[in-house]
Structure 1
């Protein structure tokens, strides 16, 4: 029996339910990352004994599953997209925005699918965007491809944000501090492609980079959808 269909125990002197437990866990993770979340810490925030929580969750992994599903509710758009491309683009951007609000989510993306009601609704929205446009295997590979890009881009962006906080250096500060070393290495002539990228490439912000890469991935999906079946 999963955490999703296991009934909650009856209420006791300190009112508890999974909704309150998950809200407390999400708040702790937002403040200090996943390492700040434990059954003991969640119980302390709720002014309850840790053993009380085990009536609602069996393991910390179940708690993480509930947390992921809770924030997946923020990914679902209220508006109706005009076509499949807009639908997948909107879901991708909302996933990024949700991860930026809850950075710990990046650590849990890309594993097994979220089986909670909100996670299933997000998966349904992604699949439904392409429903009827190709055979189901093509739809699945397209959704997986877009998802892999989104997950990778989000993880890279959040890793950079964490590095900035850990070092106290912004991206541009880090580039300036690393400049002399990079200049010396490029002067060896061993890295001609990298030299061209450093000297001639355009530096863009994280959102522009995410949007550009996403559009390229969606272009590839569109080309696959337009190809007649063999």
Structure 2
């Protein structure tokens, strides 16, 4: 029986009352502060002022805890829209926002299937909005958007972590490596890359994400119109 179907133990009048929701919220606080490395059943128990063994009445393993944490954040991903394109755009934006607010989420998206009640509610809203678009199976369309978002947010979160670790933001990184790139491009071995680096627009992360998403949705729309 999966964790979402398994009943919780009956509540008892103890000094530190527990529930799955309290356990999951404590784990999310730890992960938000210090990453997934800070999450263990022992540390969550300490956060709640309870003995670690009491948590096993509610959650059987750390893997279950991670599943519950991801599903709890899916409650914050509430895509809306009047048509399929608005819905998919909203899905992408709200997923990205949640990953930026909870960096650890980027490490777990796209792994095990997300089948908790909040994830299923998100899927129901998206699939319902796409009914009647002219394809027998809408899941490859949704999966394409999910894959784009997961790739984009992982890259953004990795850049944010690297900046924290090195103290080098993108501008300082470009200044530090600029002379090397100029010498390399001067060899004439990489003319296409040299043109892009020298002449192309350099957008911030928000604009880059939205332009890429627009290209993807335009491609989906072109495919659907055929």
TM-score scaled by length of structure 1: 0.94
| CA deviation after TM superposition for structure 1 residue 198, in Å | 0.7
**Deviations along 1:149-180, whole A, 9 cap, x unmatched?**
11111111111111110111111011111112
Of 32, 42, 45, the residue aligned with 1:43 is 45
Q: Look up the match of 1:55.
A: 57
User: Aligned equivalents of 1:208 and 1:130: distance in 2?
Assistant: 26
For 1:103, what is the secondary structure of its paired residue?
coil
Q: Look up the match of 1:197.
A: 196
Q: Look up the match of 2:153.
A: 154
Q: Look up the match of 1:31.
A: 33
| CA deviation after TM superposition for structure 1 residue 114, in Å | 1.0
Q: Look up the match of 1:164.
A: 163
**Deviations along 1:165-211, whole A, 9 cap, x unmatched?**
01111110111111122222222222111111110111101010010
Q: Look up the match of 1:225.
A: 224
Please identify, of 43-52 and 127-136, the stretch whose mean Cα deviation from structure 2 is larger: 127-136
Please identify, of 188-197 and 97-106, the stretch whose mean Cα deviation from structure 2 is larger: 188-197
Provide the alpha-carbon RMSD of the alignment.
1.1
- Confirm or deny: 8 A CA contact 2:77 2:91 kept in the other structure: yes
- Confirm or deny: 8 A CA contact 2:82 2:129 kept in the other structure: no
For 2:104, what is the secondary structure of its paired residue?
helix
| CA deviation after TM superposition for structure 1 residue 134, in Å | 2.1
| CA deviation after TM superposition for structure 1 residue 121, in Å | 1.0
User: Structure 2: which 5+ residue stretches go unaligned?
Assistant: none
| CA deviation after TM superposition for structure 1 residue 124, in Å | 1.5
For 1:203, what is the secondary structure of its paired residue?
coil
Aligned residue pair count = 224
For 2:3, what is the secondary structure of its paired residue?
coil
Q: Look up the match of 1:84.
A: 84
- Confirm or deny: 8 A CA contact 2:76 2:98 kept in the other structure: yes
User: Aligned equivalents of 1:52 and 1:188: distance in 2?
Assistant: 66
For 1:75, what is the secondary structure of its paired residue?
coil
User: Aligned equivalents of 1:146 and 1:23: distance in 2?
Assistant: 28
List, as ranges, runs of 4+ consecutive aligned residues in structure 1 with deviation greater than 3 Å: none
- Confirm or deny: 8 A CA contact 1:113 1:119 kept in the other structure: no
TM-score scaled by length of structure 2: 0.96
User: Aligned equivalents of 2:134 and 2:140: distance in 1?
Assistant: 11
- Confirm or deny: 8 A CA contact 1:88 1:129 kept in the other structure: no
Q: Look up the match of 2:144.
A: 145
| CA deviation after TM superposition for structure 1 residue 3, in Å | 0.6
| CA deviation after TM superposition for structure 1 residue 129, in Å | 2.1
